[in-house]
Chains A and B, each alone.
Chain A
Amino acid sequence: MAMNESGAPDGTSFDGPSEEELLPCGRRLAQVWELAETGGQDPHTAECPHCGEALRALRALEGVVARARDDEPRVPPWDTAALADRVMDVVRLELRPGRTLPLGEADEDAWIVEAAAARTFRAAVDTLPGVRAGSCRIEADAQEAPSSAPPPGRLPRGPARVRVEVQVGLSWNLQLVADEVRARVVGAADHELGMRIAAVDVVVTDLLDEDEDADEDADATEGRQP
């Protein structure tokens, strides 16, 4: 390669300032390559044998890189399912169940963890066509004063307040979908859990175009506030 000596690889100083390396014609090598990468034109480079040589070296490398990419196996050599199993074995030792919520009447001693209750509510909401539940938080209802202080990590034994965020298909009427979501949550709380519910807050975070879901691109379409 027709390059001057100063930037020749010696294997030890490659983190050195080789970006300043000059070609015999006086052009900076880094600049010549950068111009080529951005598709820019330089009348000097088009004529100069030194620049031409430097560009051929870059193109040759790119050629091998392209071949290397083509050589990657089309069918991945990994067992993704086994990997997921190993990850989940660790995850299940470090679950985050959340707080513990009351089941049944005030004088009972039955409870359920928030993560399990939330999953039940999300699944119930998901049965509505074009509706998917995201965040689902369950709080003690502030209206109901607790009769006695709950044990640590547990909510008071009163009716709970559910706040659920939903992604909704464009064809839905928003008032209607909020009512439907509320009904599913209350129904699941009663039939599947046995949990008393004071109120359900429904927050529509995204409107989805069911036909063109993949087109949804911008992160800005996220309506969630931090």
Chain B
Amino acid sequence: MTDQQVPRTLEDTVGAAVLATRGVAFLRPGLAGLLRSSVGLGAARGTTGASGVRVRRHKGSRGLDVEVYVVLNRGHRALDVTRAVRSAVLDAVLKEAGEGGSAQVKVTVTGVV
């Protein structure tokens, strides 16, 4: 799995883009946070809000697999927010990775506050 790791800075950039999306209250520690703490890489807490974001290299290509776990603010249609999150993530990946950047983005709403 380590060979599919991507720089933490990319996860942080994606996390920031998600957090800036209208209707997102905060990121939820999802799989990424759990994996990081169980693998012992530490830093699951104390870093930015990117614990609800997991970015991995797509096997055998330049593309990325992005998983996002978000808690939404009440009063926003969940599906619309997930769509906005997806395009924010794609923009961030393009900006970071340049022309060839592409990503599959899975967005999961884990709560509404």
Determine which residue in B82, B86, B104, B105 has the highest number of CB atoms from chain A within 10 A of its CB, and name it: B82
Contacts of B104 in A (CB 8 A): 109
Q: Which stretch of B9-17, B36-44, B73-81, B90-98 is in the interface?
A: B73-81
Q: Mark A169-210, 1 if CB is under 8 A from B, else 0.
A: 000000000000000000000011111000000000000000
B83 within 8 A of A: yes
A54 within 8 A of B: no
Known: A192-B77, A193-B78. A113 touches B83 (CB 8 A): no
Cα A104 to Cα B82 in complex, Å, equals 9
* Of B80, B86, B112, the contact of A119 (CB 8 Å cutoff): B112
Is there an interface contact between B112 and A104, defined as CB atoms closer than 8 Å? Answer: no
Contacts of A192 in B (CB 8 A): 77-78
Whole-angstrom distance between the Cβ of A212 and the nearest chain B Cβ: 34
Is there an interface contact between B111 and A110, defined as CB atoms closer than 8 Å? Answer: no
Is there an interface contact between B111 and A194, defined as CB atoms closer than 8 Å? Answer: no
In chain A, what residue has the closest Cβ to B71? A116
A120 within 8 A of B: yes
A33 within 8 A of B: no
Cα A6 to Cα B79 in complex, Å, equals 79
Is there an interface contact between A104 and B79, defined as CB atoms closer than 8 Å? Answer: yes
Is there an interface contact between A109 and B79, defined as CB atoms closer than 8 Å? Answer: no
Across chains A and B, the number of contacting residue pairs, with CB separation under 8 Å, is 58
Interface size class of B (residues with CB under 8 A): 10 to 19
Number of chain A residues close to chain B: CB under 8 A:
19
Cα A97 to Cα B29 in complex, Å, equals 13
Is there an interface contact between A112 and B108, defined as CB atoms closer than 8 Å? Answer: yes
Contacts of A108 in B (CB 8 A): 82-83
Known: A103-B82, A104-B82. A112 touches B77 (CB 8 A): no
In chain B, what residue has the closest Cβ to A120? B112
Is there an interface contact between A194 and B80, defined as CB atoms closer than 8 Å? Answer: yes
Whole-angstrom distance between the Cβ of A78 and the nearest chain B Cβ: 27
Whole-angstrom distance between the Cβ of B66 and the nearest chain A Cβ: 10
In chain B, what residue has the closest Cβ to A115? B111
Known: A109-B104, A109-B105. A97 touches B79 (CB 8 A): no
Whole-angstrom distance between the Cβ of B80 and the nearest chain A Cβ: 7
* Of A100, A103, A109, the contact of B78 (CB 8 Å cutoff): A103
Whole-angstrom distance between the Cβ of B106 and the nearest chain A Cβ: 5
- 8 A-B pairs besides A103-B109, A111-B82, A113-B108 with CB distance below 8 A are A103-B78, A103-B79, A109-B104, A109-B106, A110-B82, A115-B111, A191-B77, A193-B77
Chain A residues within CB distance 8 Å of chain B:
97, 100, 103-104, 108-113, 115-116, 119-120, 191-195
